[in-house]
Amino acid sequence: MPGPSPGLHRALLGLWAVLGLGLLGLSAVAQEPFWADLQPRVALVERGGSLWLNCSTNCPRPERGGLETSLRRNGTQRGLRWLARQLVDIREPETQPVCFFRCARRTLQARGLIRTFPLPPDPPLLAAPRLLEVGSGRLVSCAMDGLFPASEAGVYLALGDQRLSPDITLEGDAFMATATATASAEQEGARQLVCNVTLGGESRETRENVTVYSFPEPLLTLSEPNAPEGKTVTVTCAAGARALVTLDGIPAAVPGQPAQLQLNATENDDRRSFLCDATLEVNGETLSKNESTELRVLYAPRLDDSDCPRSWTWPEGPEQTLRCEARGNPAPSVHCARPDGGAVLALGLLGPITRALAGTYRCTATNVQGQAVKDVTLTVEYAPALDSVGCPERITWLEGTEASLSCVAHGVPPPNVSCVRSGEAGVVEGLLHVVREHAGTYRCEATNARGSAAKNVAVTVEYGPSFEELSCPSNWTWVEGSGQLFSCEVDGKPEPSVVCVGSGGTSEGVLLPLAPPDPGARAPPIPRELAPGTYICNATNQHGSTVKMVSVSAESPPQMDESTCPSHQTWLEGAEAAALACSARGRPSPQVRCSREGTPRTQRLHVSREDAGVYRCLATNTHGTDARIVTVGVEYRPVVAELAASPPGGVRPGGNFTLTCRAEAWPPAQISWRAPPGALNIGLSSNNSTLSVAGAVGSHGGEYECAATNAHGRHTRRITVRVAGPWLWVAVGGAAGGAALLAAGAGLAFYVQSTACKKGEYNVQEAESSGEAVCLNGAGAGAGADTGAEGGTEAADTAEAPAGGEVFAIQLTSA
């Protein structure tokens, strides 16, 4: 398509030039360095006070200006580029006045900040101790309220000439300053603690008197801290020159002098405590400090009966702590061992008491001052015990013999033993004539002064084997696949071994697998087939044997597989309706019933494709069921369900079009096409469902046929493609200036409206109806149009074609 005319191009360039100059002019105005200023920008004023503000600009001729504020005004002075205004009775905590001027259609602004502060109403509150000891640190604080802004207040805190470094905490209009005051020896005496607060040229101050004093710790000494028994010991208590000391409640004669006492050390003085107390009066207050110490007296060991008894009696069992303690300083070590060099007692340790510890021990206590010796006897008593040697857990008797039940127990003192059968009250004594009813559990109990012990004794009575009908039936039916084996349990002790062997017919010499009598035992392999017939079962143990005849029959549950009931079956639509081909094996003979899954199958005389689906077949006999899923497919003849052209509106020489053919069939149909003679360069999709033409020419016009074929038949449909029509090329020239550009836009709208029919707005009638493609906006194919396929006729349009060429159209007609 040709581009815009040279005149239109020149007009657009002119428009861009004008816009560019305008933007440059605006940019130049925006870059002028005009400003507004407000002095002072930030001001701190006493609450209720006044202030002059000066608002100015460098704009040569400002249009107007002013000062915006909510504060009261007293007077205003103006110039060409400035104004000054007095603000009075300023009480708001914080305000932001705005200075503004209008210059070159722009507003210039400057914003300020005014804060107020109140006069300090009261002096600061100072908290400090009255007395301060040399070398010790004490916390002091200074607090004040009603300050604004409190963050700008200055705080000075000092002890005499020593300035402190406080930590300051702010909260609203209040602050708290805290510091640690530590006095030195040079500051001893009366001192002043000062707190001074300054804000906005105003200051407030508070002073407190503090007395700095020195008070050393008292000194308590022993002439012999570790004195041997009988040694004389001197105790001395002393403090500073002005302090009065007291030793164990006895004061010194005058302040500054020590207090003393003497004693002859004995065992009773060991760990004796002495207290030295010192008092000092400072500025009307009495202060006190004290010191204590302990005297150690060294003496030889003592073994008293209270701490180390001569005779011990302990019960055997729970853990105990054996103690034999001796007095003495240093603490003596105590060792207790048998005189013959045998066992040693673990004194002071938690441990079990056993009968092996019983006996006489020699205990020796030793320290550097001497030793003490003492003999002690340890007696261990324990409850009765029934072990496997004197009283076995299991006893076996033989039916028909004589036996007795007796148990021997060990214990100190010797226990008495009695045995009672479970569930009975009488004690078993003497010889018994054994029968199998004597088998069971007996409880034997041994008793002495320390307790009792009980034990269960299991008595087993053995006897020869015997069969019973309930546990080993004479007739048995084996079911194939059930996983069951013949159960033949035999009464006998010990448990007999059982073997069943076929005695004739197909079972001759065949070994019949038996279920194990113990559920946890390993079972023999389960046979796939079992020969029916008569079997002889023989039971044997060490006391004899016995036999029994068993008749065995064989049956099986239902079974279906691919050979008796195929999983995929095919019916033909229209054929006579029939049942599924399914049967089952089994004894007795199973019954087979099939039903459709989901929606039930509708009863009809002939097969329909709606009969396709999944069916469930169930075979049943007395031994169970077997199910099988069968998928039924219904095959049917092909039908060309859809034959359509794309684009549906039209084609011109050199254009592209596509024909799509969709068929319904099972098995899926093979698609084939018949094109008009001479139609070349035809493309087909991989499954032949789509025919496409690129670059249509006149030979591509005509009738196309789509055929769908499968094993059950063939079906065709046809569609007609026609290629014809003129082209109209319209060139729109450009014009200069904005009026020419508007005329070009109107011409382009007219062109789009007049050529809409030629760009594909057609009405295409579908296959199997006689019709034609008709332009929707009224422009048609011209007079003398061709006749459509299968007797169909295109509608004649008397409108003349635009001058300058042919009109192309595609008419799709199907039969």
Q: Above 90 in pLDDT, residue 629?
A: yes
Task: Supply the pLDDT for residue 759.
Answer: 32
Place of tokens 């030295």: 276
Lowest mean pLDDT, pick from 497-511, 644-658, 777-791: 777-791
Dihedral, 334, 340, 345, 347 alpha carbons, nearest 10? 0
According to DSSP, the residues that pair with 327 across neighbouring strands are 302
Q: Whose CA is closest to 405, among 457, 445, 453, 462?
A: 457
Place of tokens 């309220």: 145
First to last CA, the chain: 40
pLDDT tens string 97-129: 999 999 988 999 999 999 877 658 688 999 999
pLDDT range class, residue 708, cuts 50, 70, 90: very high
From residue 409, give the alpha-carbon distance in Å to each of 382, 412, 413, 421, 445: 12, 10, 11, 18, 9
Helix (H, G, I), strand (E, B) or coil at 745: helix
Query: Mean of the pLDDT values across residues 648-670?
Result: 89
Task: Supply the pLDDT for residue 246.
Answer: 93
CA dist 369 and 697 (Å) reads 137
Query: Mean of the pLDDT values across residues 766-775?
Result: 31
Task: Supply the pLDDT for residue 121.
Answer: 63
pLDDT tens string 344-361: 888 888 888 888 888 899
Task: Supply the pLDDT for residue 741.
Answer: 33
Q: Above 90 in pLDDT, residue 321?
A: no
Task: Supply the pLDDT for residue 2.
Answer: 42
Q: Above 60 in pLDDT, residue 692?
A: yes
Task: Supply the pLDDT for residue 786.
Answer: 33
pLDDT range class, residue 649, cuts 50, 70, 90: low
Q: Above 50 in pLDDT, residue 792?
A: no
pLDDT range class, residue 316, cuts 50, 70, 90: confident
Query: Mean of the pLDDT values across residues 583-609?
Result: 88
Phi, psi of 296 (to 5 degrees): -105, 130
pLDDT tens string 259-311: 999 999 999 999 999 999 999 988 888 999 999 999 999 999 999 999 999 99
pLDDT range class, residue 802, cuts 50, 70, 90: very low
Q: Above 80 in pLDDT, residue 19?
A: no
Task: Supply the pLDDT for residue 119.
Answer: 56
According to DSSP, the residues that pair with 617 across neighbouring strands are 594, 628
Task: Supply the pLDDT for residue 276.
Answer: 94
Lowest mean pLDDT, pick from 214-218, 313-317, 786-790: 786-790
Residues in the chain: 815
Residues of the chain above pLDDT 70, percent: 84
Residue 536 burial (10 A CB sphere; 0-12, 13-18, 19+)? middle
Q: Above 60 in pLDDT, residue 801?
A: no
Task: Supply the pLDDT for residue 725.
Answer: 57
Task: Supply the pLDDT for residue 373.
Answer: 93
Angle between helices 6-30 and 737-754 (to 10 degrees): 130
Contact 483, 526 (CB under 8 A): yes
Contact 629, 595 (CB under 8 A): no
Residue 781's contacts (CB-CB under 8 Å, 6 or more residues apart) are 724, 725, 773, 775, 794, 797, 807, 809, 811
Query: Mean of the pLDDT values across residues 157-181?
Result: 91
More confident residue, 758 or 179: 179
More confident residue, 649 or 81: 81
Residues of the chain above pLDDT 90, percent: 48
CA dist 571 and 574 (Å) reads 9
3-state secondary structure string across 143-203: EECCCCCHHHCEEEEEECCEECCCEEEEECCEEEEEEEEEECHHHCEEEEEEEEEEECCEE
Residue 211's contacts (CB-CB under 8 Å, 6 or more residues apart) are 130, 131, 132, 189, 190, 191, 282, 283
